[in-house]
Structure formats: structure tokens, C-alpha cells
Amino acid sequence: MTSFGESHGKIVGVTVDGCPAGLALTEEDVQAEVDHRIPHDAKITSGRVEKDKVTIQSGVFNGFTTGAPITMTVENRDVDSSDYEDMKDLPRPGHADYTARVKFGGFNDYRGGGRFSGRITVALIMASAIAKRLLNQFGVDVFAYTKAIGNVKLDKSLDYEFVRSRRYKTSVRCPDEKCAEAMEEAIVKARKEGDSLGGIVEIIGANVPAGVGDPLFDALDSDIAKALFSIPAVKGVEFGAGFKSATLKGSENNDGFQITGKMVGTLTNNHGGVLGGISSGSPIVVRIAVKPTPSIAKEQQTVALTTMENATLRVVGRHDPCVVPKAVPAAEAAVAITLADHMIRAGFIPRVLKAQEQ
Ligand SMILES: Cc1cc2nc3c(=O)[nH]c(=O)nc-3n(C[C@H](O)[C@H](O)[C@H](O)COP(=O)(O)O)c2cc1C
């Protein structure tokens, strides 16, 4: 996929290449995914409200993908760039303003964070509508949820069906209502203090067949991590027991094999569904660490780039006090796209779908 557009430009869009021909796809299918992006709860989100009406521009004919590149777009409508004029000389700590200015010599569109804005995840989410429909036809499901916000953690293991059906029912995208309330309170409190919070999102790839992925550089876990790190504010990725596995003994960390029916399975899932870069048949379980939103109202130290003097900055304008709820559908999207790509490459998904598979 190629994503394009900026936060305050005309459109944000995506071109997906390599999608098999013969997949039933409508704008409504894509719209349904995009509608999950923004929680409708003004207490915990930025004041910017984009209605995001999806248009499929190419690659779909008579309701089916043609095998040609598929381009999809949404328009930016609720744009207010006024706050960014004062800030263009004062890079926001924790944001990409400084590194973008160094790399692009000041030519980059800094309004609303430009290409570095969380808004760009709408491209990923549009692309994932295709990936999810493909995966669903082959029995694979991808879903994510908020596991922690700041110090509020959901520490119990959850039934996958519960997560799948409940994840978008709360504004923080945590399927457990009680925990979701505590998370929401934590966000509201941080916002009142002029601050922000981060958190953890867990993503599950269910029913992924064994044998998807390649060793070394095209490893399934490498590619999933790469896609997840392409979501702004993601600062850590772990599979299965992840960083905790460094403290376990081999006897504790190894997942014993067992036969269930005629299939090989594992007794536990510390490996997170990937061994040697190849799926094992156990669920893919990945977690991402999402940092607190950089743009905060508290005073912070920065520099004035034209005069090269130290300065201070309080970020004004419309910002998410916590990006974790919006990162949930983006994380689902990153994993779904990577799995679909690998399943096509490995021949699990054919290049042309048969009519009876619809
Ligand atoms: C969905 C989403 C929404 C975001 N909203 C904001 C925001 O309102 N304000 C902000 O400063 N950063 C926001 N971010 C985070 C920045 O885009 C990100 O921290 C910045 O581009 C620097 O990239 P890095 O954190 O990956 O290094 C958001 C991120 C995502 C994924």
C-alpha cells in the first residue's frame, strides 16, 4: 500500500496494489472500518471532527476488485491551521516537527503535523478493509483492544469472542466496561492537568494457519512489527511473552506441542503465534506500547529555530489527550494488512477468487 495526503491538505488516501481479483467490495465495507477510527466521546478526543466519507476511486468494477490498483480517499474538512503558524519555529517536544524540518529543509507541510499526523492512519484503515475481507474469507480474524491506559491496566485474560464483539462498544476501546470507565477517568484527569497519557494495545490474529511467513528478513513478526511501528506514537512491539520472556527459564517459556483433533497445537502461547518468522497455527498475539500524546498544554522547553535560542512552549489547539483509543483500529489494520500480504505471497490466498468463495 501507498498512503498519501497530509493532515490539513485536501485529502488523505491510499492505493493498494496486489489485491486478488474477484473480492466483493463496496464503499460501505470500507466506511464501516473507517467509522471505528474516532470514538464519539468529546471528553477523550481532539476537538477535530472529520466525517470521513470514503470514496473508492479505482480498482473496483461491478462490485468486485479487478486485480488493478485500488485507490480510496477521504476529504479533510474540519481543518484549522491557525495554531500552527506560531509553532512552526518552535518544535513540539516529542513530535516530529524538528526531525521533519531537518530532513525536508522546512518545505514540509507542518500544518496539523502534516504527514506525521495520526490522521494519516485513516489510509491504513481504508486498506485494512480489503485485507480483513480477504482474511475473513479464509477464516482469519484480526481484532485489537486497549489493554492499558497510563497506570490503569486490564490484567485478566479475555475470551476472544468477547473482545471481538465488545471492543468498539466503549470509547476507550477496552471491552471490559468497568476498566474502560477507569481508563476514561484517567484520560479526563490528565487532560485537566494539561497533560496526556499513553498505553498498551493488544492485537490478536485468530485462526492464522501454520506456515505463513518467511525466515529472517521477511519474517512474519518482522513485517508485523514494521507495520505497527509505522503508526505514529508506537514505541514498542512485543509478541507473546515478549520482554517478560527475558526473565523466564527455557522450561517456563517453551510452549509444549500437543495434538488436538488432527492438528498440531501448543499448550501455551508465549511465542505469540510466530516461531522462526513463520506462523505456528497458535493465535498471533502482539502488543504495542503507545506513548503519551506529545502536544500538551503544560509548559515545556524547546528552541526557537530561526534565532537559535532556548524557548518555552505550551501547545494550544485541538489534540487527543490520549491516542490509544484511535491507535486500536490502526493497529488492527497494520496486522491485517501484513497477514493478508503474507498469505497472498505464500499462496494461502489465490490471485483470483472463485465466485463460490464470495
Ligand atoms: C491516531 C493518532 C492520533 C494522534 N493524535 C495526536 C495529537 O492530537 N497530537 C499530537 O501531538 N500527537 C498525536 N499523535 C502522535 C503523533 O502523530 C506522533 O507522536 C508524532 O508523529 C511523532 O512520531 P513518533 O511518536 O512515532 O516518534 C497521534 C497519533 C495517532 C496514531
From residue 317, give the alpha-carbon distance in Å to each of 87, 103, 312, 353: 11, 25, 16, 47
Query: HSE on the CB side for 142, CA within 13 Å?
Result: 30
**Helix 121-137 and helix 27-34, axial crossing angle in degrees, nearest 10:** 120
Which residue minimizes the CA distance to atom 24 of ligand 1? 233
- The mean per-residue pLDDT over the stretch 111-127 comes to 94
Residue 235 grid cell: 514505541
- Beta-strand pair 257-260/234-239: unpaired
Atom index in ligand 1 nearest the CA of residue 315 equals 11
Q: What single DSSP character describes residue 22?
A: T
For the chain, give the mean pLDDT. Answer: 94
User: Which pLDDT tens digit goes with each residue over 59-111?
Assistant: 999 999 999 999 999 999 887 777 777 678 999 999 999 999 999 999 999 98
Cα gap 167→36, rounded to integer Å: 10
Half-sphere exposure of 151 (CA within 13 A, CB side): 2
Tens of pLDDT along 160-199?
999 999 999 999 999 999 999 999 999 999 999 999 999 9
Say whether pLDDT at 356 is over 70: no
What is the rounded (10 degree) CA torsion for 1, 212, 324, 155?
Answer: 180
**pLDDT exceeding 70 applies to what percent of the chain?**
99
What's the whole-model pTM score? 0.96
Q: Is 113 in the pocket of ligand 1 (CB under 6 A)?
A: yes
For the chain, helix, strand, coil in percent to 5 are 35, 25, 45
Query: Which among 80, 104, 117, 196 is the best mutation to test ligand 1's pocket, defined by most ligand atoms within 8 Å of the CB?
Result: 117
Ligand 1 probe mutation, 3, 48, 95, most atoms within 8 A of CB:
95
Query: Residue 355 — pLDDT band, cuts 50, 70, 90?
Result: low
Separation of CA 207 and ligand 1 centre (Å): 32
Nearest CA to ligand 1 atom 21: 116
pLDDT in tens, 287-345: 999 999 999 999 999 999 999 999 999 998 889 999 999 999 999 999 999 999 999 99
